[in-house]
């Protein structure tokens, strides 16, 4: 049975309700915390827990809309409809463009029920600090408190906004707070995952996380507020020489038959009605890049699309009938882009946020990207958690507490004089898909009966949490 979501908890000064704070650090690769530059995030696995990795949904294209929408809805891309950065919808005969705020903020493109709408249905207050996506859902629901995305916002300002919400009176205080931070992803595209710039921003992110925990500790909320840090993808180095030229592979005649080209670095192709898809497929499969060792690309149709991608054109009309997925380190281009647009100095496309309308420059020269097979370790994202959720998980593994929460002024504050407090071994759980996050938030807030249909695994969190929690 779900925990009653109106349960009141006592921090020694005032009552609180169960609260979840989830922070998305864009581009935080799972293994970044092994560099010795993020002592606080690493230490969470000793006092809370960490997953070996968080597997992003396919496709892992730039920008983060498909993975962000999966966090929000618990759905794969084929279910929530955000299938690429640029994509064509044959039902409406219109196209989504990630650089066009008119489409980005149009909720009709974003299917599924975001977690803040679910939480609102349960009668709880919500807050959104710059999380990607439209300001309202298809049904016209917005978070109770909404700060729209803008670039170059200092981490201290984000910390202060979170704490301002935490400090609101009980009946106005949000029980779900979402926050988004893009800087690590931006510098990853600019300088690469092994760069000093990435390492520097990693240190900033770690200090940001530490400041959040310090502020919660100061308020005696470490066993009332669940804090979850996630990321949506990893990052890898690419090359300006390992290039697949579509006009070479397909031939200029077939390239001329492409009516819509979706996404990058993975590419979805919509061919003209006059085009013979079988011939296009055969030419792609017989091309030198596709048969090189190791191969440069994989080519998929509805029949051959791996089931583990959950990305089948037969189940969503927005998914292009033909998808080309490059292998790690490869990029897809054409001679016009390479020789004319980039004057022979082509490097795989990166992304640079220009202003508060989600406008992106798609021709920044970079040698770093994501968007490959989501089983690749360099694509894996990050998950750590601390608070009562992590405490209960550690209790189930190691044994411990009599009670999890202080529930009244007369009850003793959380009793940490147990063998659990002495248990300093890190708690690292197996990697899992990010579609499970939606169900986790519903469970932590005790509102599972309000959850919308989603692609999360029923009972997934039962293995970690005790019955009733």
Residue 201 lies inside a defined structural domain of this protein: yes
**pLDDT for the residue 466:** 63
Domain check: are 216 and 266 in the same one?
no
User: Does 2 map to a domain?
Assistant: no
Answer yes or no: is 370 within a domain.
no
Nearest Cα to Cα of residue 414 among 422, 424, 404: 404
The verdict on 163 and 21 lying in the same domain is yes
Q: Are residues 21 and 97 in the same domain?
A: yes
Same domain, 154 and 301: no
Integer Cα distance of 54 and 56 in angstroms:
6
CA distance 85 to 60: 10
Model pLDDT for residues 132-148, shown as the tens digit of each residue: 888 899 999 999 999 99
pLDDT of residue 220: 97
Is residue 151 in a domain?
yes
Contact at 8 Å (CB) between 394 and 31? no
pLDDT tens, position by position, 358-389: 223 333 334 444 457 788 878 899 999 999 98
In the Cβ-directed half-sphere of 445, how many Cα atoms lie within 13 Å?
Answer: 31
Residue 79 confidence (pLDDT) above 70: yes
Domain extent at residue 172: 8-237+378-463
| Distance from C-alpha of 208 to C-alpha of 210, rounded to nearest angstrom | 5
Quote the pLDDT of residue 98.
Answer: 84
pLDDT in tens, 423-466: 567 889 999 999 999 999 999 999 999 999 999 999 999 988 76
What CATH number is attached to the domain comprising 208? 3.40.720.10
Does residue 417 fall inside a structural domain?
yes
CATH at residue 298: 3.30.1360.180
Domain count within the chain: 2
Instruction: Indicate whether 310 and 170 sit together in one domain.
Output: no
What is the arithmetic mean of pLDDT over 276-287? 75
Which residues is 324 bridged to in the sheet?
267, 299
Looking at the structure, tell me whether residues 169 and 293 fall in a common domain: no
Residues 71 and 220 in one domain: yes
Q: Which two tokens stand for residue 118?
A: 């679910």
Tokens of 44: 């969470």
The secondary structure of the chain in percent helix, strand, coil, rounded to multiples of 5, reads 30, 20, 50
Dihedral sign computed on CA atoms, order 169, 170, 174, 177: positive
Q: Are the C-beta atoms of residues 297 and 290 closer than 8 Å to each other? A: yes
The residue among 145 and 468 whose pLDDT is bigger is: 145
Q: 248 lies in a domain?
A: yes
Would 458 be classed as within a structural domain?
Answer: yes
Q: Are residues 53 and 180 in the same domain?
A: yes
Rounded Cα distance between 282 and 345, Å, is 31
pLDDT, tens digit, 9 for 90 and up, residues 22-75 = 999 988 998 898 899 999 999 888 888 999 999 998 887 665 677 788 989 999
């Amino acid at each position: 049975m779900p925990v009653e979501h109106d349960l009141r908890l006592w921090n020694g000064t005032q009552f609180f309700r169960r609260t979840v704070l989830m922070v998305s650090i864009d581009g935080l690769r799972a293994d970044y915390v092994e560099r010795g530059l993020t002592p606080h995030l690493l230490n969470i696995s000793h006092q809370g827990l960490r997953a070996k990795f968080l597997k992003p949904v396919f496709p892992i294209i730039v920008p983060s809309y498909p993975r962000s929408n999966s966090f929000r809805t618990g759905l794969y891309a084929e279910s929530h409809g955000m299938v690429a950065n640029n994509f064509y919808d044959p039902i409406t005969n219109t196209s989504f463009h990630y650089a066009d705020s008119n489409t980005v903020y149009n909720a009709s493109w974003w299917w599924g029920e975001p977690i803040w709408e679910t939480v609102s249905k349960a009668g709880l207050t919500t807050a959104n600090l710059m999380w990607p996506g439209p300001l309202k859902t298809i049904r016209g629901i917005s978070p109770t408190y909404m700060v729209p995305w803008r670039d170059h916002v200092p981490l201290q300002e984000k910390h202060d906004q979170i704490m301002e919400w935490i400090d609101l009176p009980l009946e106005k205080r949000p029980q779900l707070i979402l926050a988004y931070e893009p800087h690590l992803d931006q510098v990853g595209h600019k300088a690469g995952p092994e760069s000093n710039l990435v390492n520097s921003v990693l240190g900033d992110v770690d200090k940001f996380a530490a400041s959040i925990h310090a502020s919660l500790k100061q308020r005696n909320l470490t066993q009332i507020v669940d804090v979850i840090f996630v990321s949506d993808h990893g990052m890898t180095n690419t090359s300006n020489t390992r290039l697949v030229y579509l006009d070479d592979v397909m031939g200029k005649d077939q390239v001329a038959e492409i009516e819509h080209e979706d996404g990058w670095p993975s590419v979805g192709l919509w061919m003209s009605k006059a085009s013979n898809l079988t011939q296009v497929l055969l030419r792609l499969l017989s091309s030198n890049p596709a048969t090189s060792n190791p191969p440069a690309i994989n080519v998929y149709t509805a029949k051959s699309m791996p089931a583990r991608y959950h990305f089948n054109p037969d189940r969503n009309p927005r998914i292009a009938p033909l998808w080309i997925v490059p292998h790690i380190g490869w990029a897809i281009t054409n001679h016009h882009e390479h020789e004319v647009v980039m004057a022979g100095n082509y490097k795989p496309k990166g992304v640079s946020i220009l202003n508060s309308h989600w406008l992106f420059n798609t021709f920044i020269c970079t040698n770093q990207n994501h968007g490959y097979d989501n089983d690749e370790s360099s694509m894996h994202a990050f998950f750590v958690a601390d608070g009562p959720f992590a405490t209960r998980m550690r209790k189930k593994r190691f044994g411990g507490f009599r009670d999890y929460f202080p529930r009244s002024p007369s009850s003793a504050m959380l009793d940490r004089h147990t063998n659990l407090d002495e248990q300093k071994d890190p708690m690292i759980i197996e990697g899992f898909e990010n579609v499970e996050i939606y169900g986790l938030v519903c469970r932590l807030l005790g509102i599972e009966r309000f959850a919308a249909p989603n692609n999360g695994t029923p009972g997934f969190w039962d293995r970690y949490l005790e019955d009733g929690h």
